[in-house]
Amino acid sequence: MDVIQEWSGSLACALQAALRMTDEGFANRLGVAVHTVATWHAEPGAVLGPQVQQLLDTTLEQAPDSARARFRLLADVTAVLSRVGDPAAQALRVAIAVVTREDEVLLVCRRDDGGGITWQFPAGVVKPGASPSTVAVRETLAETAVHCSVRRMLGSRLHPITGVMCDYLLCDYLAGTAVNGDVVENVEVLWVAKSSVTRFIPAERIYPPVLKALEEET
């Protein structure tokens, strides 16, 4: 059983990301204001009040096993707690692989813990000291059985929904047949036309340099 001795903004954001919730959804789940959740993203080292600590404890206890597993991976509790208050603390970081093959791009359909699904690019958590490029290639293979290589970095941003720092990498297909390599997390893996990607992922949720790169290659 996961036990958090003291919740910080970083850990609260890790739980939000593990549950795959927006700021609004997470605030509603906890019964707090949306701006409170936004404050946790802005002040990751802040130690949260006793009442909020209890709300987060309960939410973690009630989370599905898949979300708890993601939380452990994202938070790395001991490392995060040891850095509370340290300005040099690293934010949660994810490498996102935009894998292209001729006029197609690779997508995965993920389950969320609310019973719905979302289409996304293959991605994986970048642990301290790891290379985003290595993570992008490795996680693409693990999730989809597709071998790829990184062509170039498209940029980085703080994700507007999850609050996680994201590194976007444009990748070239090398080999392999796309299959669902993680039936617990994902529903389907699919090559889609670059020109149709916004039918699967709303344009406003796609990092603009990603859309630009796909449009340039169409």
Instruction: Tell me the pLDDT tens digit for each residue of 122-167.
Output: 998 888 788 999 999 999 999 999 999 999 999 988 877 777 889 9
What pLDDT was estimated at residue 147? 96
- Does a structural domain hold residue 1? no
According to DSSP, residue 67 is labeled H
The last residue of a domain, from among 26, 50, 82: 82
Give me the residue label for tokens 């720092």: 165
According to DSSP, residue 8 is labeled B
**Tokens matching residue 203:** 């344009």
How many structural domains comprise the chain?
2
Helix (H) or strand (E) holding 5: none
* Residue 148 · residue 105 · CB < 8 Å: no
According to DSSP, residue 21 is labeled -
**Tokens matching residue 1:** 């059983």
Q: How far apart are CA 185 and CA 187, in angstroms?
A: 7
> Who has greater pLDDT, 189 or 163?
189
Q: What is the pLDDT of residues 10-23, one digit of tens each?
A: 888 888 888 888 87
In this structure, the answer to whether residues 61 and 97 fall within a common structural domain is no
Strands 165-175 and 93-101: parallel
In this structure, the answer to whether residues 189 and 211 fall within a common structural domain is yes
Examine the pLDDT at 92 and tell me if it is beyond 90.
Answer: no
Mean pLDDT is lowest, of 46-50, 178-182, 194-198, for 46-50
Examine the pLDDT at 173 and tell me if it is beyond 70.
Answer: yes
pTM for this predicted structure: 0.62
Examine the pLDDT at 118 and tell me if it is beyond 70.
Answer: yes
Q: How far apart are CA 186 and CA 195, in angstroms?
A: 23
Q: What is the pLDDT of residues 37-90, one digit of tens each?
A: 877 876 777 788 888 889 999 999 998 888 888 888 776 643 444 444 444 344
In this structure, the answer to whether residues 184 and 113 fall within a common structural domain is yes
Share of the chain above pLDDT 90, in %: 38
Q: How confident is the model at residue 217 (pLDDT cuts 50, 70, 90)?
A: low
**Tokens matching residue 155:** 């940029």
In this structure, the answer to whether residues 78 and 98 fall within a common structural domain is no
> Who has greater pLDDT, 2 or 66?
66
* Residue 62 · residue 109 · CB < 8 Å: no
Rounded CA Rg of the chain: 18
CA separation (Å) from 177 to 8, 97, 154, 191?
A: 42, 17, 25, 10
- Measured over the CA atoms of residue 102, residue 181, residue 111 and residue 2, the dihedral's sign is negative
Whole domain around residue 32: which residue ranges? 9-82
Share of the chain above pLDDT 70, in %: 87
According to DSSP, residue 88 is labeled T
In this structure, the answer to whether residues 98 and 131 fall within a common structural domain is yes
What pLDDT was estimated at residue 13? 83
What pLDDT was estimated at residue 184? 76
What pLDDT was estimated at residue 172? 96
**Tokens matching residue 135:** 């993570």
The last residue of a domain, from among 50, 82, 114: 82
